[in-house]
Amino acid sequence: MHSSSSVPAAARAPRASCVVCAAGAAALLAPGLLAAPLAVTGIDFAPAVNAKWPEYGQAEAATLRTAIRAALAREKDCGTVPNGVGINVTVEDLAPSRLTRNPSLDVVHSKSLGGAELKGEVLDAQQRVLTTVSYRYFAPTITVGSVARDPWADARVAIDGFAAKLAAVCRNLPQQDHAAG
């Protein structure tokens, strides 16, 4: 078991209350614009990650896309933004904490330095980039890495940290960027 200090601060940060969420969402809205959940408009993998799918298994891409969508949906700090605002996510780097598909090795006892690097572009309704958010976490040592049997446990730490950082950025988006036509 690893100490809480091995988890990035952004992934451990307490979440805002619903009152603060409502106030933050209201502050983001320009007059006359309707609110909507932040839309994930795309989740892509960088060429370096795509080259790893033969080793990891192509089905793992769907698992990670689902994890990214779920982490972003859990972030209520960025739950309501003006209509048309969305995010394109790119997984720039990726490594599993455990084997994903090599039956000749012991999945329980084989362990790697897992994690992920993600980049997100927050786009307005006209598809202009409002801001870019990047986050990277890889277990620094085998002993600090996740003890979970999930092959993507450390990547999920990175995904959660990315989602928390994105939520913080969403709270601070300037109003005029949304209202510009």
Are 114 and 146 in contact by the 8 Å Cβ rule? The answer is yes
161 part of a folded domain: yes
pLDDT (mean) for 5-9 = 47
**Measured over all CA atoms, what is the biggest interatomic distance in the chain, rounded to whole angstroms?**
61
Query: In angstroms, rounded to a whole number, what is the distance separating the alpha carbons of residues 115 and 49?
Result: 12
CATH number at residue 32: 3.40.50
Residue type, 72: L
Q: Are strands 86-95 and 39-45 parallel, antiparallel or unpaired?
A: parallel
Q: pLDDT per residue over 16-60, tens digit each? A: 333 333 333 333 434 434 455 678 899 999 999 999 998 888 899
Residue 116 within a domain: yes
Domain count, the chain: 1
Give residue for tokens 């793992």: 60
- Give me the helix-helix angle, 59-74 and 153-171, nearest 10°: 40
CB of 83 within 8 A of CB of 34? yes
The Cβ of residue 131 has, within 10 Å, a number of other Cβ atoms equal to 16
Does residue 180 fall inside a structural domain?
no
Domain ranges, residue 127 = 4-174
pLDDT in tens, 85-106: 889 999 999 999 876 666 555 5
* Residue 24, Cβ density class (10 Å: 0-12 exposed, 13-18 middle, ≥19 buried): buried
Is residue 181, in this structure, part of any structural domain at all?
Answer: no
* Apex 23 CA angle, 20 and 27, nearest 5: 135
